[in-house]
C-alpha cells in the first residue's frame, strides 16, 4: 500500500525501514507554530492545576519500571512527566528552578505561566504581535512587583521568639501530606533552620541540614537530632552501644595489610609460609590499631570494610568501629564533628580528630535495625531531621514537604517580608495592573489587562480545588479589595473557616 512503511535489506542483509511520502509533511511556522507551543504548555499547566492549594489533590506517578510516587509537589510531578514538546519542557525547568531557588510554590508558578500563555494566545488572535505582548507583560510585571512591595508585611522574629516563623511554616505544610502532624513538622523546620542560621549575615547553610528517614512508626515519631545520623551500626555486636566524649578517627584508607600489586602474585607452597603470612598480617593489623590508639581516638569511622580478624582486634582493643560508611556521609561527619578525613595511615599522627559528646546506636522497636547517632557536637550546628512513616512513599513525600517548609523558613531569615496567601496578593496585583492598563495610552494596555486576568488564575484554581464557585468567589474578593477592604489580605477561604480567607 502507498504511504505504508516498508522493510528493505541492505547488502549485508540488515533490515531497515523505508517510510514513503515524508516529503508531503510540512513544518509549522509563524503564528500556527506559536499557538501549538502554547497549547502544549497549557496542557502541562492544566495537569498540575488540580494539585494547587491546601485542598489540591495528590498525583499518583508510575515510572517506566513500575515505581509508584504519590505527591502533591509540582516540581516532582513535572520532573516525572514524559514531555516531548520543548516549550512544555521549559515549564518543567521553570518549576525546577523555583524549587532550587525558592523551595516552595512550584505548582503556583506553572499555573501562572500557563495562564499568561493562554491570555497571550487570545491577544495573538486579535492580531497583536508577540513582541508587543511581551512588552506589555513586562510593564505589567513592574506594576505587580511594586504592588507586592506596598502590601507586604514584615514578620519580626528572633532565636527566642519563633512563633511567626512557625505560623509561616505551618502555612507551607498545610497543603502537604504531613498536615496531620504539621505543628510538629513546622517546629522541626524552624528549629533546624535556626540551628544552622547566621542571623547577622542573614545566611543559612543548608549543607548542615540533613533529612533522613526510616520506614516504621508514624509521622508523629519524627524527631530533630542535633547532630548526624548514619545508617550503620557498630561493626561487632559486643562493642558498646554508646560512647561518651567521643574522639573520632575518620578513615578513607583501606583498613587492611598492604597487598601485592596487581602485576605480582604471592605463591604459598607450605604451611610454614602460610603461617608466616598470617603472622605478618596480624602484626600489620596490630600496628594499625596501635597507630589509631596513639592518636587518642575511641571511635573509628571507616569508609571501607575490614575482615573479621581486624574486627576482633578492634573489639579486644576497646575501639568501637563503623564500616562501609559512604563518601558523602564521611564528609558530613568530618564537617559536623570538626575533624579531618585521613586518606592514608601515615597521616594519622597529624590528623585532627572529630569530637562529639555522644556516639550511640539507636534501635527501632522490635526490629533488629540500628542506626548510629552522633550528637552533642561542640562548635557545630549540624542537624538531622529523622522522619518515620508507615511506608516508603509516605516518607519520601514527607521529606519533600519538610524540604519546602525548610526553604520557606530559610527565605524568611534572608528577607522577613511576607504577602498573604489564598490568592489575596494575586488579586491585589491584578487590580493594580488593571488600573495601570487604563492609564496606558498605547497598545500595551491590552497585554497589561491580559496579565491582570492571568493573575486571577491562581485564586480561581484555589477556589475550584476547594469546591467553591471560582468566578463568583474571585469576583466578590476583587470587588471587596477594590473598595479598599483589607487590600492584599482577602483571599479564597480554602478551608471554609468563614474567615474570608484572610491569612
**Are β-strands 209-215 and 383-389 bridged in parallel, bridged antiparallel, or unpaired?**
parallel
How far is residue 469's CA from residue 26's CA, in Å, rounded to a whole number? 44
* 10-residue stretch averages of pLDDT, the chain, 503 residues long: 68 75 67 84 88 86 86 86 85 88 86 92 89 92 92 86 87 78 89 88 85 86 88 89 90 77 73 85 84 88 86 88 86 85 82 88 77 83 87 88 90 88 89 90 88 92 88 89 82 73 44
pLDDT digits (tens, 9 = 90+) for 185-202: 999 999 999 988 888 888
- The set of cell numbers assigned to 66 is 513500575
Q: Which residues pair with 198 in a beta bridge?
A: 203
Length of the chain: 503
CB-based contact 173:404 (threshold 8 Å): yes
Helices 31-49/86-101 angle, 10° precision: 50
**Are β-strands 299-302 and 153-154 bridged in parallel, bridged antiparallel, or unpaired?**
unpaired
Please report the DSSP string for 387-398 in residue order. EEESSHHHHHHH
How far is residue 472's CA from residue 335's CA, in Å, rounded to a whole number? 56
User: What is the pLDDT at residue 1?
Assistant: 47
Q: Which CATH class is domain 31-153+420-482?
A: mainly alpha
pLDDT digits (tens, 9 = 90+) for 207-218: 888 898 888 888
How far is residue 377's CA from residue 360's CA, in Å, rounded to a whole number? 13
Alpha helices in 102-249 (DSSP H): 106-125, 130-151, 163-173, 182-196
Task: Enumerate the domain spans of the chain.
Answer: 31-153+420-482, 157-226+381-416, 228-376
Report the CATH architecture of 157-226+381-416: 2-Layer Sandwich (3.30)
User: What is the pLDDT at residue 268?
Assistant: 82
Sign of the CA dihedral 301, 307, 308, 314?
negative
What is the distance between the terminal CA atoms of the chain, rounded to a whole angstrom?
66
DSSP, collapsed to helix, strand or coil, labels residue 342 as strand
Helices 470-482/457-465 angle, 10° precision: 130
CA distance readout (Å), 352 to 250, 295, 334 = 9, 9, 10
Selection from 206, 229, 167 nearest residue 387 by Cα: 229
Sign of the CA dihedral 76, 77, 80, 81?
negative
Alpha helices in 50-129 (DSSP H): 74-79, 86-101, 106-125
Q: Which residue do the cell numbers 509508584 mark?
A: 68
User: What is the pLDDT at residue 501?
Assistant: 47
Helices 457-465/424-438 angle, 10° precision: 150
How far is residue 319's CA from residue 251's CA, in Å, rounded to a whole number? 14
- The set of cell numbers assigned to 120 is 497571550
How far is residue 299's CA from residue 289's CA, in Å, rounded to a whole number? 11
User: What is the pLDDT at residue 20?
Assistant: 67
How far is residue 224's CA from residue 430's CA, in Å, rounded to a whole number? 41
How far is residue 236's CA from residue 489's CA, in Å, rounded to a whole number? 60
Indicate which residues carry an active-site annotation: 73, 106-107, 404
User: What is the pLDDT at residue 503?
Assistant: 41
How far is residue 385's CA from residue 405's CA, in Å, rounded to a whole number? 12
Q: Which residue do the cell numbers 479598599 mark?
A: 484
DSSP, collapsed to helix, strand or coil, labels residue 248 as strand
- The set of cell numbers assigned to 282 is 596480624
CB-based contact 497:490 (threshold 8 Å): no
- The set of cell numbers assigned to 354 is 572529630
User: What is the pLDDT at residue 500?
Assistant: 52
User: pTM (2 decimals)?
Assistant: 0.78
User: What is the pLDDT at residue 145?
Assistant: 93
Q: Which fold has domain 228-376?
A: GroEL (3.50.7)
Amino acid at each position: 500500500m502507498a504511504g505504508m512503511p516498508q522493510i528493505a535489506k541492505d547488502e549485508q542483509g540488515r533490515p531497515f525501514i523505508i517510510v514513503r511520502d515524508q516529503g508531503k509533511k510540512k513544518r509549522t511556522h509563524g503564528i500556527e507554530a506559536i499557538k501549538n507551543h502554547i497549547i502544549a504548555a497549557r496542557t502541562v499547566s492544566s495537569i498540575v492545576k488540580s494539585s494547587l492549594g491546601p485542598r489540591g489533590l495528590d498525583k499518583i506517578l508510575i515510572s517506566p519500571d513500575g515505581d509508584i510516587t504519590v505527591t502533591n509537589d509540582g516540581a516532582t510531578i513535572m520532573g516525572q512527566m514524559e514531555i516531548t514538546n520543548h516549550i512544555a519542557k521549559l515549564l518543567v525547568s521553570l518549576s525546577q528552578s523555583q524549587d532550587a531557588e525558592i523551595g516552595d510554590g512550584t505548582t503556583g508558578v506553572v499555573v501562572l505561566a500557563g495562564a499568561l500563555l493562554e491570555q497571550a494566545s487570545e491577544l495573538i488572535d486579535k492580531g497583536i504581535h508577540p513582541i508587543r505582548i511581551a512588552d506589555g507583560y513586562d510593564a505589567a510585571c513592574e506594576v505587580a512587583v511594586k504592588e507586592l512591595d506596598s502590601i507586604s508585611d514584615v514578620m519580626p522574629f528572633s532565636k527566642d521568639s519563633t512563633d511567626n516563623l512557625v505560623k509561616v511554616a505551618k502555612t507551607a505544610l498545610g497543603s502537604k501530606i504531613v498536615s496531620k502532624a504539621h505543628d510538629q513538622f513546622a517546629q522541626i523546620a524552624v528549629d533546624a533552620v535556626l540551628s544552622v542560621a547566621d542571623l547577622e549575615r542573614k545566611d543559612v547553610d543548608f549543607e548542615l541540614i540533613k533529612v533522613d528517614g526510616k520506614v516504621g512508626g508514624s509521622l508523629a515519631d519524627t524527631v530533630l537530632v542535633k547532630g548526624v545520623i548514619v545508617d550503620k551500626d557498630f561493626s561487632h555486636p559486643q562493642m558498646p552501644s554508646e560512647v561518651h566524649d567521643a574522639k573520632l578517627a575518620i578513615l578513607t584508607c583501606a583498613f587492611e595489610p598492604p597487598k601485592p600489586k596487581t602485576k605480582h602474585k604471592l605463591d604459598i607452597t607450605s604451611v610454614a609460609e602460610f603461617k608466616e603470612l598470617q603472622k605478618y598480617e596480624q602484626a600489620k593489623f596490630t600496628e594499625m590499631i596501635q597507630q589509631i590508639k596513639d592518636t587518642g581516638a575511641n571511635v573509628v569511622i571507616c569508609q571501607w570494610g575490614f575482615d573479621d580478624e581486624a574486627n576482633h582486634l578492634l573489639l579486644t582493643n576497646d575501639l568501637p568501629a563503623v564500616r562501609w560508611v559512604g563518601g558523602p556521609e564521611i564528609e558530613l561527619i568530618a564537617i559536623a564533628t570538626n575533624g579531618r578525613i585521613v586518606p592514608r595511615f601515615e597521616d594519622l599522627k597529624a590528623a585532627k580528630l572529630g569530637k562529639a559528646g555522644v556516639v550511640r546506636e539507636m534501635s527501632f522497636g522490635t526490629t533488629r535495625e540500628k542506626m548510629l547517632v552522633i550528637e552533642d557536637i561542640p562548635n557545630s550546628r549540624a542537624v538531622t531531621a529523622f522522619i518515620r512513616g508507615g511506608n516508603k512513599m509516605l516518607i519520601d513525600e514527607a521529606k519533600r514537604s519538610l524540604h519546602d517548609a525548610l526553604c520557606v523558613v530559610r527565605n524568611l531569615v534572608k528577607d522577613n517580608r511576607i504577602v498573604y496567601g489564598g490568592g489575596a496578593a494575586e488579586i491585589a496585583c491584578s487590580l493594580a495592573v488593571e488600573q495601570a492598563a487604563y492609564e496606558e495610552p498605547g497598545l500595551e494596555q491590552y497585554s497589561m489587562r491580559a496579565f491582570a486576568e492571568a493573575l486571577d488564575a491562581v485564586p480561581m484554581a484555589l477556589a475550584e480545588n476547594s469546591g467553591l464557585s471560582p468566578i463568583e468567589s474571585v469576583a466578590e474578593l476583587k470587588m471587596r479589595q477594590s473598595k479598599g477592604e483589607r487590600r492584599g489580605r482577602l483571599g479564597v477561604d480554602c478551608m471554609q473557616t468563614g474567615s474570608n480567607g484572610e491569612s
